Amino acid sequence: MPLSILGMPTEVLALVLAACSINTLPVLAATSKLIGEASDERRKRIAVLKLPPFETTPYAVNLECNCGVLFHAGLWKLALSSGAFAGALYSGALPHLKEIHLYGNHIGDSGLQNLCECFFKGALDMLEIIDLSNNQIGDVGVSAFAAVLSSKALPQLTHLVIDHNQIGDFGVSTLADVLSKGALPQLESLILSYNKIGDIGVSDLAKALSKGALQNLVRFGIYNNWIGHVGVSALTDVLSKGKLPHLEVISIGYMHTSTLEDTCKARNILFM
């Protein structure tokens, strides 16, 4: 497969694949090679990793070091199951990475478990934003991620987005357990919308919040789950007791009560 390196400013590296329709694995292998060959100075400038949805046609892979962006076009759901690509992250090739955006790549539980190995290694401990939306992640993947959080491997994380997945009560309860023990004290945004979380999971999460978890949370999204009156009541109790003192926005959707609305209004929390 013909590859060409474009002549670009010194702060920009680009790897362009001549074919318009190619297999994903060569893209990953070539990208990993490019990361490995980049100078230490350029790797230090890479702050953002974006993998567009898996439907995207893989035309090019760019390392835009001047913008602080590592952009992979069309890496599909094989991205984190690829030994070459996961290995590049695991080896610490991008130690200053601050954001990972994987929306719509369908990496599944196995992909998240591979990513968690990188977290455990401490290879990505500068991360501030993780977006895992729409990735077919379930309780197994979230449980693996919870284990990472319990190890304090992501000390800088402020935004966690895992909506549009398949997370149920078991997964969110596991997450709640590590949060109750002090994980992610600096988290500002937690988005769990469009999953399969019911009253049990929300009640466990509410218990963690009652114990003082996530005191710096600003935005909380749990819209369009399987929450009933028991779960809503548990969240209402948390807010009425003054927990989540910095909360500005809560998104819970149609399943709510007038008591919850009144509580949010009294605290000037935007209710959605």
Q: What percent of the chain has pLDDT over 90?
A: 50
Residues 209 and 238 sit within 8 Å (Cβ to Cβ): yes
Mean pLDDT of 211-227: 97
The pTM of this model reads 0.80
Mean pLDDT of 127-150: 94
What pLDDT score was predicted for residue 68?
45
* Cα(196)–Cα(127) distance, integer angstroms: 27
Lowest-pLDDT range, 4-13, 48-57, 165-174? 4-13
More confident residue, 42 or 21: 42
Q: Which of 8-22, 23-37, 93-107 ranks highest by mean pLDDT?
A: 93-107
Strand extents, DSSP E, the chain: 3-5, 12-17, 48-50, 60-64, 69-72, 99-101, 129-131, 159-161, 189-191, 219-221, 249-251, 270-271
Model confidence pLDDT, tens digit, residues 38-88: 556 665 566 666 655 555 444 344 444 433 444 443 343 444 444 455 666
Q: Across the strands, what pairs with 141?
A: none
DSSP 103-125: TT---HHHHHHHHHHHHHHTTTT
Lowest-pLDDT range, 1-5, 36-40, 122-126, 181-185? 1-5
